[in-house]
Amino acid sequence: MTGKNHSKPAKRRTTLTLPVDTLSHAERIARQRNMSLSSVVAEALDEGLRVHASTQRSEEVLKAYQQAFSGLSQEELMILDGIILEPASARQA
């Protein structure tokens, strides 16, 4: 096993069309931080994709949650909350 392939992520050259203002902003940050424009854009893209993934995960969990508790009566929801109800008449018998 070698760690050779894990030292740096693989890169690929591509062409993007970006809004002028966004590009100017990224260039300004690159100059301020003494970084390449590619690094700044990659960092911003990573952050955006992370937020996107979090939002997607949040929606999936919320949907599953809503499904788990949907279409149930009040008594059934109480049972799911750990409140076990029996007919009062059965208890008196």
Partner 1 sequence: MIDPASGPFLFDTSAESWLARAQQPAVQNWLRQYLALHQVYVSAVTVLERSRGYALLWRSAPEERRSAIEARRIAYLGQLGRVLALDSATAVVAGEIMALIPQPPTPPRRSHSLVESRSDRLSRWRFDATIAATALVARAPLIHNNPEDFETIRSAIERSPGRFPGLGPLELLRCAALA
Footprint on this chain of partner 1 (rule: CB under 8 A): 51, 54-55, 57-62, 64-72, 74-89, 91
| Shortest spacing between CB 50 and partner 1, in angstroms | 10
With CA atoms as reference, report the closest residue to 27 among 14, 45, 39: 39
Q: Are the C-beta atoms of residues 26 and 41 closer than 8 Å to each other?
A: yes
Q: Considering beta carbons, is residue 10 or 88 the nearer one to partner 1?
A: 88
Q: Considering beta carbons, is residue 16 or 84 the nearer one to partner 1?
A: 84
Give how far the C-alpha of residue 82 lies from the chain's centroid of Cα atoms, to the nearest Å. Answer: 31
Q: Considering beta carbons, is residue 16 or 64 the nearer one to partner 1?
A: 64
